[in-house]
Each structure stands twice: as C-alpha cells, then as structure tokens.
Amino acid sequence: MIIIDNFIQDEDLLNRIQNDEFFWKPGYNWYNGWWEEGINNIRHELIHAIWGPDSPHAAVQIGGFEHWTGDFTEKDVHEVCGMEWSLKLHFDKDEEKWHETKQIVGPKIGTVFYPAREIDEMEGGELWFWENFPPERANEDGTIFIPPEQAEIIKPKFNRLVIFDAKCLHGVAKIKKGRRRAIAINLWDAPPTEFLKDY
C-alpha cells in the first residue's frame, strides 16, 4: 500500500475538480489511457497525474483504467458481519463475469483519491483494507467474513492518494457526520466485461 498526502500540487487542478460536474457524475467509466486516446477531460487529467511518468508507483503494463466516484453521507448504511458500513465489504472484480461464471477476475491495482475539501470535516468513513484477504479466502458460497487479522484503517483526507490491491477485501466504515466524496481508479490488464459490450 502507498499513501501520499498533499499529492496534487497544482491548486488549479484541485479547484477545477472540486467544481466540475462531469468529474462527479455517477457511473462506471473506462479510459484506454493517454497513450491511446489522449487526455480529453478532467478525470483523464487526474489519472495521468497519478499514473503517468511521474507516478509514485513503479511502471506497470496495463490495458486501461476503470474509474468512478463515490458520494456517501451518514444516510448510506449497510450492516455486514455485525458492523455498519457506508460501503460494504467487498472485493473489486469483473462483476458481470462473476455473476455469469462465478469466476473472480480482479484489477491489477486500485487507487482512491480524495479531492473534495469538505472531507476533512467528516467523521468516520475510514477505508478498511485487509492485504492478506484475497477472494479465495471467502466462504465457499462467496460470503464474506471479517478476518482475524487487523485491518489497515486509512482516514480519508483532502488531497490524499491511496494505492492498494483492490482485489483484496476492503470497505468503508459508517460515516458518522459529513460527506465523503472520492474517486476510485482501477488498473486492468483488459477491460471488464461491462466495457466490452456494444450499446
């Protein structure tokens, strides 16, 4: 896991993200990368800032980026394993392939970035992550349990970057007060099934 505070030094980019309607639009999206299609919007600009030539992570060969934003408040509550979560425990995976075949195919690397200033006023909403809990450790029926190992617990913070293995178990603890806006970016060898369809 890599955690870097004050990651984006470009105040103009941070301000544009804060107020950009497209950036915060819900829904999952696919980006083939700047080497394939250039940088066409503010999300692409951020992805390039995180994963381009000056990336804090070693270079990796990938097929592109899945990206989406999350916007949670104290109204978002799910009970799992006797605890309350704003984003329930899960493994990032190709959801359509899982539903069709029960085969788990996950991303190469995951990224969470917190570009909204109001997150520093929030209470709760920490990212819980178990590095040694891949999908193979789930119950035979696919249900999840909280492992005995201590989770890494990462507090959301404005301009904080988190890079981690998103195919391992993680979730977001219940938000007690405020609003938690973030962007998630997964790096894949090939696009998940959802992005291969012709609409």
Strand partners, 175: 124
CATH number at residue 172: 2.60.120
Count the domains in the chain. Answer: 1
So what's the pLDDT on residue 141? 66
**pLDDT, tens digit (0-9, with 9 covering 90-100), for 162-183:** 999 999 999 999 999 999 999 9
How many angstroms separate the CA atoms of 23 and 90, rounded? Answer: 24
Say what the pTM is. Answer: 0.92
CB 73 within 8 A of CB 175: yes
Kindly report the average pLDDT of the chain as a whole number: 91
Select the more confidently predicted residue: 194 or 69.
69
Domain hosting residue 50, numbered range: 2-196
What are the angstrom distances between the C-alpha of 113 and each of 8, 14, 102, 134, 155?
10, 11, 30, 22, 12
Phi–psi pair at 87, nearest 5 degrees: -130, 110
pLDDT surpasses 50 at 199: no
pLDDT surpasses 60 at 146: yes
How many angstroms separate the CA atoms of 180 and 125, rounded? Answer: 7
